[in-house]
């Protein structure tokens, strides 16, 4: 969706559970992660995280994390990363 209608993200970040990240990193061949800005089906912005292999390629056929909790409205207590 985001590629079809790119827009400046209105979210500051998203929270992802440790278990989801560990599952992604635990896939065979994953050496790191990459994130992409996304647009959910309801047009709210989001982030997608995908594993990256040793050649720097996205492992798009593996697990992809796309169910984070957005900030705002669900942010940490105020800090340098999430202030207005």
Dump pLDDT digits (tens) for 1-24.
Answer: 656 766 666 788 899 999 999 999
Is residue 50's pLDDT more than 90?
yes
Top-confidence residue, 67 or 82:
67
Peptide bond into 73 cis (omega under 30): yes
Structure confidence at residue 36 (pLDDT): 93
Among the residues of 1-84, which ranges form H helices?
Answer: 18-25
Structure confidence at residue 63 (pLDDT): 94
CB 63 within 8 A of CB 4: no
Whole-angstrom distance, CA of residue 37 vs CA of residue 70: 12
Structure confidence at residue 18 (pLDDT): 96
């Amino acid at each position: 969706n985001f590629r079809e209608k790119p827009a400046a993200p209105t979210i500051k970040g998203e929270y992802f559970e440790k278990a989801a990240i560990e599952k992604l990193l635990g896939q065979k061949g994953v050496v790191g992660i990459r994130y992409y800005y996304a647009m959910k089906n309801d047009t709210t912005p989001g982030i997608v995280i995908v594993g990256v292999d040793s050649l720097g390629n996205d492992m798009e056929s593996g697990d992809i994390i796309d169910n984070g909790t957005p900030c705002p409205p669900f942010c940490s207590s105020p800090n340098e990363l999430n202030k207005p």
